[in-house]
Amino acid sequence: MKAIVTGANGTVGSAVVTYLESQGDTVIKWDRSKVPVDDYWAMHEYVKEHAPDVIYHFAIASNPTGLENEGWIVNYNWPSELAWIARQQRIKFIFTSTVMVWTNDAKGPFTPESKPDETEGYGAEKIRAENQIRSQNPDSIIARLGWQIADSAGSNNMITFLETQNKDEGKISASSKWKPACSFVWQTAEALRNLAKSRGGTYLVSTNKDLNFYEIATALNKKHGNKWKVVENEDFVYDQRMIDDRVNAPSLESELEL
């Protein structure tokens, strides 16, 4: 399989690139300095030249380049245009969204039928982008992701959060009343590659079946040599789990050996 990947240096994008290449796939990393994301025809010709089987869109406006209205262009216009280009060229398009399309007041666990309710910020931007992508290309795959767990700190993932909180506060305060949507990043990568073979639609990618945050933090602490102080609380009450039986991946529990 040949894939174009945007946001290839991010937490999920880099993991997907590594996994695709391990499976023998050809990966083309989108370089925004060479292919401008506000030039439709440049993007069209770039995709046509490489003729991929799938486009994975992970990029967000995290590293400004000085482009006017860059946030809107990167988070909304670019994926919209790519969805249309993929439709015209008969290429599978996969757009990664987020569990943050639901507010903390929403009632989980969430399923593909659960209606998003966020009206502000990052989650609201993702909802708008999702809706535009569906209108541009109904065959698109929209994959809502949870919190990612990597092997180490240094990127936007749960280990970084735990390391930082333990360093700053001398402990990790973890609620046993919060069941987060989350996955190891390599589980997400495998699931996204499998979704390239699926029909268009909205999919929920999270492997936490029933663990609360205290249980997860405790298990990760053990996995990383018990170097943190994990303290249980009940301050945050929220079932954020995402359940989608169409997404086949080993459970978080099995990966944590629980």
Same domain for 143 and 120, yes or no, is yes
Residue bearing the bigger pLDDT, 127 or 69: 127
Confidence band, pLDDT 50/70/90 cuts, at residue 57: very high
Residues 156 and 133 in one domain: no
Structure confidence at residue 55 (pLDDT) = 98
Amino acid at 87: R
227: pLDDT strictly greater than 90: yes
Residue at 76 is within a domain:
yes
Domain of residue 233, residue span: 148-180+209-241+251-255
Answer yes or no: do 233 and 168 share one domain.
Answer: yes
pLDDT at 62: 67
Residues 21 and 46 in one domain: yes
| Same domain, residue pair 8 and 23 | yes
- Give per-residue pLDDT as tens, 234-245: 999 999 999 999
Q: What is the dihedral of CA 155, 191, 125, 67, to 10 degrees?
A: 60
More confident residue, 66 or 76: 76
105 and 168: one domain? no
Pair 30, 135 in one domain: yes
191 and 213 both lie in a single domain: no
What pLDDT is attached to residue 61?
Answer: 67
What was the pLDDT predicted at 116?
A: 98
State yes or no: pLDDT of 6 exceeds 70.
Answer: yes
62 plus 136 within the same structural domain: yes
Provide the residue count of the chain: 258
Q: What are the two backbone dihedrals, phi and then psi, of residue 144, each rounded to the nearest 5 degrees?
A: -85, 125
**Do 52 and 105 belong together in one domain?**
yes
- Is residue 119 located within the same domain as residue 167? no
CA distances from 248 to 169, 170, 245, 251 (A): 38, 38, 7, 9
CATH of the domain at 79: 3.40.50.720
The verdict on 156 and 95 lying in the same domain is no
Residue 161 CB neighbour total at 10 angstroms: 15
pLDDT at 248 over 90: no
Residue 83 forms part of a structural domain? yes
Nearest to 121 by CA among 187, 162, 60: 60
Give ∠ CA 178-183-187 in degrees, rounded to 5. 165
Question: Residue 246: inside a domain, yes or no?
Answer: no
How many distinct structural domains can be found in the chain?
2
Please report whether residue 176 resides in a domain: yes
**Residue 247: other Cβ atoms inside 10 A:** 22
- Indicate whether 216 belongs to any domain: yes
Query: For residue 66, is pLDDT > 90?
Result: no
Q: Is residue 17 part of a domain?
A: yes
Considering the domain boundaries, does residue 75 fall inside one?
A: yes
User: pLDDT digit string (tens) for 15-50?
Assistant: 999 999 999 999 999 998 899 999 999 999 999 999
